[in-house]
Structure 1
């Protein structure tokens, strides 16, 4: 049976951390009736990468029957300065720090590793909130530097039998991820499919899943609400089954390529994380050379067809819309979809 779990962050993102440590997170996830966990960064689990403590973590996950996936930091050399702790782990070398993270994960048998190529800066205006549109360098230059860095990591990944899965994050397209995987090697590089982020780059979730599926080895699943606004098209996060995504073909694509794929939900609480496409802006359009007009038209259709929460409600923080609410509603919907698929 396909495993359903959660993507979690131990450090505070929106408000105080929900758990004091990963042991408490395991217990919470087990109480929610879920099957596993993807922890965003190994550094959050143990800043010193203490091998004894990490073995205890792995043993507890095994005892509870939970799958365990870990993240090991980001790989775009133009934004590694945002992660000084990784450079510190490597005694001044970001590359050495990443190699230590990979080795620590591999030592406890965790070989499915998360990574990403950028970050989201909500305090910056418009499309400048993603690294794709930073002005000190171009996105093609960032992709070239990322490919070079990944090739430097490849020997360590092979040594420990690990694969680094790059997320369909807010700044990168599935076209670009597939090209990176094929350039570096699918034995050491894969894709972590985030079903809601692909809209931000003008991609329809069904088509994006089909493009990425041959290389998808981890997931961060959630639904999306789409609304046409004065600025373009806004995407908000929603529990699975409560947005615009047609889930059956998405699951068919992902599980058809990898039947043993863990389906990990990435919940959010209180806010719904608005991000905006700017399809009227020539700079935004020029920044997407692979943009498919048919997929963009489908996003417009989905936005006009969405009849869920109002724009005002989507933009208003809701203290009752907790992490657990998002997680359990998503898990229930996902398991209903899986039961229909297997019937």
Structure 2
């Protein structure tokens, strides 16, 4: 039996521009999701649906999703205090308090039955140089300070999460490693903090999707699924996003780990659009090495081997080469979702492996 497969959707923000936004009202987003044959949707974030957290509107969203037979997941603001100034809408919700704004969103989501909530610990600033695009390497705060502050903020939110029976699920985002995420979950408590597993971001930390999934599976409650290809780039290996089944990820192994730990997990796809910037793996930069104290050299080797593996895909299966990936325009958002959903459903219908099959098993 196939697992439920849905789409991650960013709606327009009333106060700022977002990458990858679907510029459509929520009613159309839900109707289009159902028309595409998907099973559900993750809407990021609650304030994009209603800047005032209107209870009636949010109930209409939940009822409409249920009427269409869709699961509904929601997200809230990010939880790294060093970048919360980039989210003024959350502070507005709390009348000047970011924490109060988060609490209001958690309570509003719980009121319509959404208790597993997406969150993350940073942003990606594409206009900055080199590895400083990534919040892990921001110049004004060591990553250890950012993690400590994030843990304190999560601990402040723990009482409202427990009162609501809810959980904040930290994405394996491009600034945070899976060991970092697991330590935060265990420090604050897995009853209130879990994981949103993003299969593509882990590669920028020298982690494979297969090994990363095994590390976070016990705590994973939400997903951002997409495949990756890694090609030689002008500065470092470049990571691009492609539909599930068209890159280097072993989906039977990944889904075997995730669904083996949580059989009811929704497999939500985060689609890429026709144009996307490359994300680099700065493994040869001493600053990158220092910033990854948990790095497993064998796993990094497995990531770098993906370059050769994908070159074989290019030759054998007519997959797009580096030049075509950089040019973009290979698929629309809808095509990305359709192709990914078809592959994930095929893997789960066939029965995902429950034991790792690759030679490298950290």
Q: Same fold (TM over 0.5)?
A: yes
Kindly state the Cα deviation for residue 340 of structure 1 after the two structures are TM-superposed: 1.2
Provide, for residues 259-308 of structure 1, a one-character-per-residue CA deviation record: whole Å limited to 9, x for no partner: 00000000011113310011111111111111110011001111111033
Does 1:327 pair with 2:360? no
Q: Tell me the TM-score normalised to structure 1 length.
A: 0.97
What's the RMSD between the two structures over aligned residues? 1.3
> Which among 83, 105, 117 is matched to residue 87 of structure 2?
83
For 1:141 and 1:219, locate their aligned partners in 2 and report how far apart those are by CA, in whole Å. Answer: 27
**Equivalent residue for 1:116?**
120
Does 1:211 pair with 2:215? yes
**Equivalent residue for 2:146?**
142
Kindly state the Cα deviation for residue 126 of structure 1 after the two structures are TM-superposed: 1.1
For 2:162 and 2:243, locate their aligned partners in 1 and report how far apart those are by CA, in whole Å. Answer: 36
Q: How many residues align?
A: 341
**Equivalent residue for 2:78?**
74
For 1:200 and 1:113, locate their aligned partners in 2 and report how far apart those are by CA, in whole Å. Answer: 24
**Equivalent residue for 1:271?**
275
For 1:296 and 1:331, locate their aligned partners in 2 and report how far apart those are by CA, in whole Å. Answer: 28
**Structure 1, unaligned stretches of length 5 or more?**
none
For 2:85 and 2:306, locate their aligned partners in 1 and report how far apart those are by CA, in whole Å. Answer: 38
CA contact (8 A) 1:3 1:35 kept: yes
**Structure 2, unaligned stretches of length 5 or more?**
354-362
CA contact (8 A) 1:238 1:272 kept: no
Task: Report the more deviating stretch, 18-27 or 250-259.
Answer: 18-27
Does 1:340 pair with 2:344? no
Q: Tell me the TM-score normalised to structure 2 length.
A: 0.92
CA contact (8 A) 1:167 1:191 kept: yes
For 2:23 and 2:70, locate their aligned partners in 1 and report how far apart those are by CA, in whole Å. Answer: 17
Kindly state the Cα deviation for residue 2 of structure 1 after the two structures are TM-superposed: 1.3
Kindly state the Cα deviation for residue 19 of structure 1 after the two structures are TM-superposed: 4.3
For 2:18 and 2:343, locate their aligned partners in 1 and report how far apart those are by CA, in whole Å. Answer: 25
SS at match of 1:191: strand
Kindly state the Cα deviation for residue 27 of structure 1 after the two structures are TM-superposed: 0.4
Task: Report the more deviating stretch, 127-136 or 264-273.
Answer: 264-273
Kindly state the Cα deviation for residue 18 of structure 1 after the two structures are TM-superposed: 3.2
For 1:85 and 1:169, locate their aligned partners in 2 and report how far apart those are by CA, in whole Å. Answer: 21
Moved over 3 A (4+): 12-15
Provide, for residues 190-236 of structure 1, a one-character-per-residue CA deviation record: whole Å limited to 9, x for no partner: 00000011001110110000000000000000000111223221110
**Equivalent residue for 1:316?**
327
